[in-house]
Amino acid sequence: MRDDLQLLIISSPSGAGKTTLTRRLLSAFPDFIFSVSHTTRAPRKGETDGSDYHFVAREEFVRLRDEGAFLEWAEVHGNLYGTSLAELDRARSLGKRGILFDIDYQGARQIKAKLPSVTAVFILPPSLRELERRLRSRGSDDDETIARRLAKAKAEIEHYGFFDYVVVNDDLDRATADLHGIVRAERCRRTQRALEAEALLRE
Amino acid sequence: MRDDLQLLIISSPSGAGKTTLTRRLLSAFPDFIFSVSHTTRAPRKGETDGSDYHFVAREEFVRLRDEGAFLEWAEVHGNLYGTSLAELDRARSLGKRGILFDIDYQGARQIKAKLPSVTAVFILPPSLRELERRLRSRGSDDDETIARRLAKAKAEIEHYGFFDYVVVNDDLDRATADLHGIVRAERCRRTQRALEAEALLRE
């Protein structure tokens, strides 16, 4: 049985525009679902279980992890986060064609190792200076926080080698077209279309 | 020195819509030029030398061929046809970013062997029955010609393995979006964007 589920990872440093690009992608390709992560941290106000995260107790997370239920997982500030393999089944059971993982490069690296057919896209800001400008324009962070975010961004960009594609978000519409183009192109790979070619040859 | 010239092959059986898709591509991406082939056949009415073909005498073609000037060449009905390496220089000298080769699978195969970085796209009709309907609706071919074209189409489709991408032209707008997506995606490959990522890391 052939499994056509398209696996797409999108990563980027904070401030590069990933949230907007992801929202646009899901709107343009309604046959994609967004992968919902598991976490042991408490829900914040307004967050819904099963939609923002699968909120689970630490013992439950550890049990799932030890059973091999996660494609990737990490501990951040004392909380566990992970992407469950069951999300792929959820996409299939909904009749979807693709699933989108919004994760950092470490998660991308782990998923790539387990599912080499995944397509990994890294969103780059046009420059670190522009990234700093964008972070400052939010007005929500002090200098120290911004400096920390910039250092973290640079550390993430150093791992662009784990990604198949790099989209430079210097213009939002162009970056959107690039990202949608990647999704379309991956669907047109010869190996993805081989059954259609074979059907023609059997006519 | 890095050479960013994007090499794109588009092939298809006759009647699959390649001409329209090619025209749309060149209109959407004015930074592409269309590769002009060499031929020893006589110009037809309305054809311009250097634009439709480079029309050359047989001795000139053979001399060029023996010098290794062609990326691919073939003899069809007693006439020689070929794609000159000099077309790449023409694209570069015009400051273009890409060059489009409209050739059959045998040409695609030869170019792929010499320039493995080329992107090869095969346009498929949705079915052979639909291809037959399209050929008949042109009203210009008799039954025998149509049968020959269909047999040739099937023989070409059998070589889809030489292509990186397969675009099924069941809907012209969707096929256009797929083809443009492929061009964009290829430009976003990590290896194509590595210098931009490196520039950020040096900031």
User: How many contacts, defined by CB atoms under 8 Å, are there between A and B?
Assistant: 118
Q: What is the ipTM of this complex?
A: 0.91
pLDDT of residue A56: 97
Q: Do B163 and A190 touch (CB under 8 A)?
A: yes
Q: Do B189 and A164 touch (CB under 8 A)?
A: yes
Rounded Cα distance between A193 and B72, Å, is: 26
B194 touches chain A (CB under 8 A): yes
pLDDT (tens digit per residue) in A32-46: 999 999 999 999 999
- Cβ neighbours around A103 below 10 Å, total: 23
Instruction: Classify A89 as helix, strand or coil.
Output: helix
Phi, psi of A39 (to 5 degrees): -150, 155
Give the chain B residue whose CA is nearest to the CA of A153.
B201
Rounded Cα distance between A122 and A168, Å, is: 8
Across the interface, of B158, B178, B197, the residue whose CB is closest to A157 is: B197
Nearest to B168 by CA among B200, B134, B121, B135: B121
Rounded Cα distance between A85 and A89, Å, is: 7
Instruction: Please compute the mean of the pLDDT values over residues B154-161 and round it to a whole number.
Output: 94
Q: Scan residues 170-189 of A and list those with Cβ closer than 8 Å to B.
A: 177-178, 180-189
Rounded Cα distance between A83 and A107, Å, is: 8
pLDDT at A164 over 80: yes
To the nearest 10°, the Cα dihedral for A127, A129, A134, A138? 150
Please, what sign has the CA dihedral across residues A85, A86, A89, A94? negative
How far apart are the two ends of chain B, measured CA to CA in Å? Answer: 22
pLDDT of residue A1: 43
Q: Residue A55's beta-bridge partner residues?
A: A39
Look up residue A101 and give its amino acid: F
Across the interface, of A124, A181, A185, the residue whose CB is closest to B197 is: A124
pLDDT (tens digit per residue) in B101-131: 999 999 999 999 999 999 999 999 999 999 9
pLDDT (tens digit per residue) in A19-68: 999 999 999 999 999 999 999 999 999 999 999 999 999 999 999 999 99
Nearest to B17 by CA among B174, B139, B152, B181: B174
The number of residues making up chain B comes to 203
Q: What are the structural domains of chain B?
A: 1-31+98-203 (3.40.50.300), 36-96 (3.30.63.10)
In whole numbers, what is the pLDDT of chain A averaged over residues? 94
Rounded to two decimals, the pTM is 0.93
pLDDT of residue B2: 53
- Cβ neighbours around A89 below 10 Å, total: 11
Instruction: Please compute the mean of the pLDDT values over residues B142-154 and round it to a whole number.
Output: 92
pLDDT (tens digit per residue) in A69-126: 999 999 998 999 999 999 999 999 999 999 999 999 999 999 999 999 999 999 999 9
pLDDT of residue B1: 43
A155 touches chain B (CB under 8 A): no
Judging by beta carbons within 10 Å of its beta carbon (0-12, 13-18, 19+), is residue B141 exposed, middle or buried?
A: middle
Q: Do A190 and B125 touch (CB under 8 A)?
A: no
